[in-house]
Structure 1
Amino acid sequence: MGKVAFVFPGQGSQKVGMGQEAYEASEAARAVFDEADEALGEALSRLCFEGPEEELKLTANTQPAILATSIALLRALDAPFDVVAGHSLGEYSAHVAAGTLELGEALRLVRKRGQYMQEAVPYGRGAMAAVLKADRTLVERICAEVPGLVEAVNYNSPEQTVIAGEAEAVREAGAKLKEAGARASTLPVSAPFHSSLMEPAEARLREDIERVAFSTPRVPVYVNVDATPVMDAEAAKQALIRQVSRPVRWEDSVRRMIDDGVSLFVEVGPGRVLSGLLVRIDKRAGRVNVQGPLDFDAARDAIAEARSR
């Protein structure tokens, strides 16, 4: 039997209107958004459905909004899966799916995570850039050569790596990478996520995470920081803490899932970022995207076929 992985997107996949069709069509999805509104004491659902976009893009809002939308779609889809993973923020969605975290606790944690990450570095002092057409060895070498702090922070696919750090160092690394034949473009984000500049945010979030009850995951959760599956509550907790200031090893995570027997990846949440990365990592891997009720039948058929092999 082929294994099915449910994978959950991170920040950058948000869009006004996300989750609304599921909310209108599914009682399970409505229950998720109602719980999210109650957990945060505000109308997160209205922000997801109506915006405004500028408010939705604020990190402290984006993170719980994407998590709520992903879990609403997951519960409305109501289909079986064997393993889970999530990109950055999406790892929290993965843990809710696996039963490691209660939805309300996860929402409150990611609200704080977004706040702490934003506050760790003054606006304008940090930056991120996407690097294309360069392998990770070249990216790491040039980052090491540039004065100041700049690091590879997302290993997304064989030819896509994201760098982050001090704004001037990121600009200089981008220029040197272009000279070496790569493409580099600054990302419209407000902080250098997953770089070592996030260590103050990690320290603050650690205190909050340590107070939350984690359960044993019902299925393996492939974590960003190690690109390995975790199957116990304490390992899950520590991986989420360490993830804040360390690279997202997404390509390695996907390859490990494929090596462990995954034949179908179901992206559950807004956007198609992870499906696009999957094509670049391994074209042979099956993939399907779930953004709303119109995607449910195709996803269920693909899951049934994969699990019957």
Structure 2
Amino acid sequence: MSKTAFVFPGQGAQYVGMGKEITENFSVAKEVYQEASDYLGYNMNKLCFEGPNEELVKTENTQPAILTTTIALLRVLENEGIKSDITAGLSLGEYASLVKSKVIDFKDAVRIVKKRGKYMQEAVPQGIGTMAAILGLDKEKLQKSIEECRHYGVVETANYNSPGQIVISGEVEAVKNAVKKAVEYGAKKAVILPVSAPFHCSLLKPAGERLEKELLKYSFNTPQVGVVTNVDAKLLKDKEAVVPSLVKQVSQSVLWQDSVEYIINEGIDTFIEIGPGKSLSGFIKKIAKSLNAQISIKNIEDVNSFKALINSL
């Protein structure tokens, strides 16, 4: 019997035009965009379908835009009766997992991530922090690179995405030097990322504190589907664990590789990436290969991928 995981992408997956085709073909998707527009007080359709890109890439806009697109696609799948046994999301994507598992209503989630984006953006002034992707270097050597550059400022691991892909985050000078050091230690590639803030490092703790105050205004439910959290790479224990987990997630490393390994070890053999882009599919493929696990990876982001997914099930 096949077991399925729904996985949801994070910030960086957005593009102008995302979700447009799916809303033109499915009324249930259209309703999600309308709900988001009503809850946030601006035209979510226009932002996602027309941009401009300069508006879409602002963190406080990106986060609700990706969440809306993701949930619209999720509703289309659910309408077809497709279910998941477990769920996980990368950073922002974890909020889609919480909506999927009925821990939180979409109307509350979209408001929270709007604030989350704002707090994350405001935590560190523009130009102070950055992030970099390090490819083809093991964890131990990367850790050494980081430790040797700490005297330049804050630099920490932000995302363990897949074997051979780790993202670091921190103050510009420290990150740039850690990139050079990583190359010296044998990294195949090390590139500074085009991000507006140093996400998932201790510089973002003030954003986590502000987010906690916001989260405490809402009520959460017990998960109806297992949610694997970024901070622990384990199942969310209960509704009491939601707020601490989401607060930590802002300034701690995202354990994506560990999360996917956990899901595979739970006997899941099918992953469906729901949302714009296919970045998670690439990570999952590498992780499964490192475990010698035979899995199937599918995605849905538009009508063609939806049809291909339905035909493959």
TM-score, structure 1 length as denominator? 0.96
Across the aligned residues of Structure 1 and Structure 2, the Cα RMSD in angstroms comes to 1.0
Counterpart residue number, 1:153: 158
CA distance in 2, matches of 1:207, 1:41: 22
Aligned residues: 303
Deviations 1:85-120 (CA, angstroms, capped at 9, x unpaired): 000000001111111111111011101111101110
Residue segments in structure 2 that go unaligned for 5+ positions in a row:
none
Corresponding position of 2:174: 169
Q: Superposition pairs for residues 21-40 of structure 1, below 5 Å?
A: 21-40=21-40
Alignment deviations for residues 155-200 of structure 1 (CA, whole Å, 9 cap, x no partner): 0011000000011000000000111111210000010000000000
Report the Cα offset of residue 286 of structure 1.
1.2
Q: Which amino acid aligns with 1:7?
A: V
Q: CA deviation at 1:206?
A: 0.4
1:76 matched residue in structure 2: 76
Q: Using the alignment, how far apart are the partners of 2:41 and 2:50 within structure 1?
A: 18
Q: Deviations over 1:285-304 (max 9, x none)?
A: 210010012222332344x4
Aligned to 2:51: 51
Residue 143 of structure 1 aligns to a residue whose secondary structure is helix
1:287 aligned to 2:294?
no
The answer to whether the 8 A contact 1:18-1:69 is kept is: yes
- Partner Cα distance (1:11, 1:138) in 2: 27
Structure 1 partner of 2:18: 18
Task: Tell me, in whole angstroms, the C-alpha distance in 2 between the residues paired with 1:60 and 1:126.
Answer: 17
Separation of aligned partners in 2, 1:40 and 1:136? 41
> Counterpart of 2:277 in 1: which secondary structure?
coil
* Structure-1 residue corresponding to 2:107: 104
What is the aligned partner in structure 2 of residue 195 from structure 1?
201
Q: 1:278 offset after TM fit, Å?
A: 1.0
Partners of 1:20 and 1:32 in 2: CA distance: 12
Alpha-carbon distance between aligned partners in 2 of 1:19 and 1:99, rounded to the nearest angstrom: 22
Residues 145, 185 of structure 2: 8 Å contact kept = no
AA matched with 1:47: L
The gaps in structure 1 that reach 5 residues or longer are: 305-309
CA separation in 2, counterparts of 1:43 and 1:17? 14
| Aligned position for 1:264 | 270
What CA deviation, in whole Å up to 9, does each residue of 1:123-160 have, x standing for no partner? 00001000001011211121112112100110001100
CA deviations on 1:222-275 (whole Å, 9 max, x unpaired) are: 000000011421112321111000000000000000001110110000000000
Superposed displacement of residue 80, structure 1: 1.0
Structure 2 partner of 1:307:
none
State whether residues 158 and 280 of structure 1, in contact with CA within 8 Å, keep that contact through their aligned partners in structure 2.
Answer: yes
Matches within 5 A, 1:98-137: 98-137=101-140
- Checking the alignment, whether the CA contact within 8 Å between 2:212 and 2:243 is kept in structure 1 is no
Alpha-carbon contact 1:219-1:231 (below 8 Å) kept: no
SS at match of 1:5: strand
TM-score (norm 2): 0.95
Letter in 2 for 1:202: G
Structure 1 stretches of at least 4 aligned residues deviating more than 3 Å after TM superposition: none
Matched, 1:65 2:65: yes
Question: How far apart, CA to CA, are the structure 2 residues paired with 1:219 and 1:300?
Answer: 22
Say whether 1:211 aligns with 2:214. Answer: no
